[in-house]
Amino acid sequence: MSQGIYLDNNATTRVDPEVLQEMLPLFTEHFGNPSSMHGFGAAVGGKIEWARKQVQALLGAAHDSEIVFTSGGTESDNTAILSALEAYPKKREIVTSVVEHPGVLALCEYLEKKRGCKVHRIPVDKRGNLDMEAYRAALSDQVAIVSIMWANNETGTIFPVEELARMAKEAGALFHTDAVQSVGKIPMKLADSAIDMLSLSGHKLHAPKGIGALYVKRGLRYRPMLRGGHQERSRRAGTENAPGIVGLGAAAQLALVHMGDENTRVKALRDKLEQAILAAVPSCFVTGNPDNRLPNTCNIAFEYIEGEAILLLLNEAGIAASSGSACTSGSLEPSHVMRAMGVPYTAAHGATRFSLSRDTTEEEIDRVIAVVPGIIAKLRSLSPYWQQEAGKPKEFAPVYS
Amino acid sequence: MWNYTDKVKEHFFNPKNSGVLDSANAVGEVGSITCGDALRLMLKVDPDTQIIQDAKFQTFGCGSAIASSSALTEMIIGKTVDEALTLTNRDIAEYLGGLPPEKMHCSVMGAEALRAAIANYKGEAWEDDHEEGELVCKCFGIDAAMIERAVTVNGLTTLEEVTHYTKAGGSCQTCHEKIEEVLEEVLAKTGALKPAKKHTPGTVGLDAIKPLEPKAEPAAAPKLTNVQRMQAIMSAIEEMRPQIQRDGGDVELVDIDGKDIYVRLSGACSGCSQSAGTMMGVQMKLVEKLGEFVRVKPASLMPAHAG
């Protein structure tokens, strides 16, 4: 497995060795508490401020104090939404989309059930594009916050966040975006943006797990979720995860360097993989909007077979991918993103995501191209929906419960 | 990554008896497309001996669904139809060395396909009455549909009762919030807190899961009406007040919720290290007066909606 082909970078990425090098002294050498009044602490404090500037640069933010370090994407998402509701107690509505990450969706569901909030979930079309009319209609002066992702983790489809943020602003609502998948892949200049808050996660851009950040535009009404010490200017209490923060800083610096590579070489590899699979395998299609998506993501729905079985066979071949199938998640429903786009169940269960990174090589992509058609054919030969001889789906009508 | 046994992997990577059986005289097709499973089981039964001579399957599903189908065919070939009918989903899971709780439904699908195929052979109608919902209790593999059924059939109203009847939430206890959500939903649907029907253990869903013994009811005392009971509680507390007041404190009855009696300790009692002892004293007095078991709790523990 150690020499496997890793195409699940939207789930998590490998820590860049340069990032690790930056982090290591923080464990044993510069171990002080940045809040302490001695040299041990001061050295760490300086490193943290350096890291903050790197994240600021990656986001194109106007001030480094707009960056609040957190434990990751989910904490940032929760903090942003809860902060808006507390800062504007008279506004009890939230606007979000049906394809958000659970970090947003599960919180909204909870707020709806237990706190009496009204949640508008904006639908998407067959290609995963947001219904702009429904969005416009949901905005009002009752909306405390809009939380809509920059790019979708399953399909890579990009939402027009800048336009959405401007519309939210006109309606007097805050705009938050979960940019966990897009930071480091899409150039950003938040200084000139209407976006008020933005979540990012370290482990999606070659920093370690357990570190992330929330961008909070200067002057925004904000209420912390964690109260305690004065860390992060009292916006996120708790002793700083200094090694993680420095790792995120180093990763942000590298992400700026490699962004060109992501959008040229990696993108070309993704396109090569996708076109080769579509050409070699019948009855499969790309989900989401292929014309407007992240450069590293490709999600192909293989009809009449199930995703977990695909992943198990890929894994045997040393290839790591991911699936929108129900059976990989422990729930019984296929991915909410696939269902939201109206992908039929027989295809949604076979939706397979290949997500590349700057570590991906052409040899690896060629291996995958060679292996995938055989795996799909093997599983289809087992499937009651698939007519081997004709190579076409056949009539199969089981008793459904 | 699922923790599959070697046996499951063996049957997934090299499934036995997959494909179409042209000479089949019994076919069972079952599935749950939302869950991503569908299975066609084909049998060739000898009409004279009733022995299943051959079996093949086609499965749309995950690793354990394919493995369960493969195992099923291996288990039934050579058996008579009646012998095969005694197989349960647990037998399939055991044959595979066990399945993760989230994947038990795959074995259920196998067992149902077998019943469907045999019904088809005998010319009987067969209806799939199996429902599945979100898995709630991972320790015992209990899903939301099963909890709903247990709550509806038995008129359950509390988390404790759900645990007694289905085992759900009885082990690691991390699913208690989810169980309460299911409970609330069902109660809201059925017009809520109707008096619980007589409990009839054994009528709930999967036969393999037996309810725990309900707790023995304490010996019935002369039955008080609600008003009499409330008055008895109030007068018992009144009787205790002078003694507590002598120590500079006081006790006040706040609410009665079935067996839970909520009181508020005040004055010297509040924050006193002996207050737990005082509560116990009040409880003993009440149990004695009422002739039934009650719990005395501080008012601060009252459920939020009641406060």
Residue B289: CATH number of its domain: 3.30.300.130
Q: Is A397 on the interface with B (CB under 8 A)?
A: yes
Residue B177: CATH number of its domain: 1.10.10.1100
- B196 located within any domain: yes
**Beta carbons of B39 and A399 less than 8 Å apart:** no
Catalytically active residues of A are: 327
**Beta carbons of B40 and A396 less than 8 Å apart:** yes
A181 & A264 share domain:
no
For residue B242, what pLDDT is reported?
84
Is residue B148 very low, low, confident or very high in pLDDT (cuts 50, 70, 90)? Answer: confident
For residue A173, what pLDDT is reported?
98
A192 & A263 share domain:
no
DSSP strand pairing (A143-147 vs A174-178): parallel
Structural domain span for residue B164: 133-216
For residue B35, what pLDDT is reported?
58
Picking from B90, B122, B154, the residue at the C-terminal end of a domain is B122
- A105 located within any domain: yes
Which of A184-193, B6-15, B207-216 is predicted least confidently? B207-216
- A399 located within any domain: no
For residue A389, what is the nearest residue in chain B, using CA coordinates? B20
Question: Residue B79 has which token pair?
Answer: 């058996």
Is residue B202 very low, low, confident or very high in pLDDT (cuts 50, 70, 90)? Answer: very low
- A401 located within any domain: no
Q: Is A383 on the interface with B (CB under 8 A)?
A: yes
Which among B35, B51, B187, B209 is annotated as catalytic?
B35
Measured distance CA(A305)–CA(B58) in Å, rounded:
11
For residue B200, what pLDDT is reported?
45
Residue B13 has its nearest CB partner, among A306, A316, A325, at A316
Helix, strand, coil percentages, rounded to 5, for chain B: 45, 20, 40
**Beta carbons of B29 and A349 less than 8 Å apart:** no
A335 & A353 share domain:
yes
Residue B12 has its nearest CB partner, among A312, A349, A381, at A312
B27 & B118 share domain:
yes
Q: What is the pLDDT of residues B87-131, one digit of tens each?
A: 988 899 999 999 887 787 788 889 889 999 999 999 888 776 555
Decide if pLDDT at B206 tops 60: no
Domain tally for chain B?
A: 3
B267 & B203 share domain:
no
Which of chain B's residues have a Cβ under 8 Å away from the Cβ of A334? 34, 36
- A400 located within any domain: no
Distance from CA of A381 to the nearest CA of B (A): 7
Around A272, how many Cα atoms within 13 Å sit in the side-chain half-sphere? 18
A81 & A180 share domain:
yes
Q: Is A349 on the interface with B (CB under 8 A)?
A: yes
**Beta carbons of B33 and A345 less than 8 Å apart:** yes
A217 & A310 share domain:
no
Distance from CA of B218 to the nearest CA of A (A): 37
A22 & A164 share domain:
yes
DSSP strand pairing (B260-267 vs B295-298): parallel
For residue B30, what pLDDT is reported?
85
A-B contacts at Cβ under 8 angstroms: 113
B105 & B145 share domain:
no
Residue A52: CATH number of its domain: 3.40.640.10
Under-70 pLDDT residues of chain A = 1-2, 325-333, 387-401
Q: Is A332 on the interface with B (CB under 8 A)?
A: yes
Q: Is A390 on the interface with B (CB under 8 A)?
A: no
For residue B218, what pLDDT is reported?
46
Which of chain A's residues have a Cβ under 8 Å away from the Cβ of B13? 312-313, 316
Which of chain A's residues have a Cβ under 8 Å away from the Cβ of B8? none
B106 is catalytic: yes
For residue B149, what pLDDT is reported?
83
Are A134 and A123 in contact by the 8 Å Cβ rule? The answer is yes
Domain tally for chain A?
A: 2
- B60 located within any domain: yes
A297-330 per-residue burial string, b: 16 or more CB within 10 A, e: under 16: bbbbbbbbbbbbbbbbbbeeebbbbbbbbbbbee
Residue A277: CATH number of its domain: 3.90.1150.10
Map residue A283 onto helix, strand or coil.
coil
For residue B168, what pLDDT is reported?
86
Picking from A234, A255, A276, the residue at the C-terminal end of a domain is A255
- B115 located within any domain: yes
Which among B81, B106, B236, B244 is annotated as catalytic?
B106
B184 & B240 share domain:
no
CA distances B132 to A206, A255, B145, Å, are 39, 45, 6
Which of chain B's residues have a Cβ under 8 Å away from the Cβ of A397? 29
Distance from CA of B210 to the nearest CA of A (A): 24
Which of A220-234, B159-173, B209-223 is predicted least confidently? B209-223
- A398 located within any domain: no
Structural domain span for residue A84: 17-255
B210 & B249 share domain:
no
- Best of B1, B3, B20, B33 to disrupt the A interface (most A CBs within 10 Å) is B33
For residue B212, what pLDDT is reported?
54
- B127 located within any domain: no
Q: What are phi and psi of B224, to 5 degrees?
A: -90, 150
| Residues of the binding site of B for Fe cation | 35, 62, 106
Q: By C-alpha distance, which of B258, B302, B299 is closest to B279? A: B299
**Beta carbons of B133 and A309 less than 8 Å apart:** no
A312 & A248 share domain:
no
Residue B102 has its nearest CB partner, among A305, A330, A345, at A330
A64 & A197 share domain:
yes
For residue B281, what pLDDT is reported?
80
- B1 located within any domain: no
Are B141 and B191 in contact by the 8 Å Cβ rule? The answer is no
A137 & A164 share domain:
yes
Which of chain A's residues have a Cβ under 8 Å away from the Cβ of B33? 345-346, 400
B200 & B300 share domain:
no
HEC assignment per residue over A69-107: EECCHHHHHHHHHHHHHHHCCCCCEEEEECCCCHHHHHH
Map residue A120 onto helix, strand or coil.
strand
Which of chain B's residues have a Cβ under 8 Å away from the Cβ of A307? 36, 62
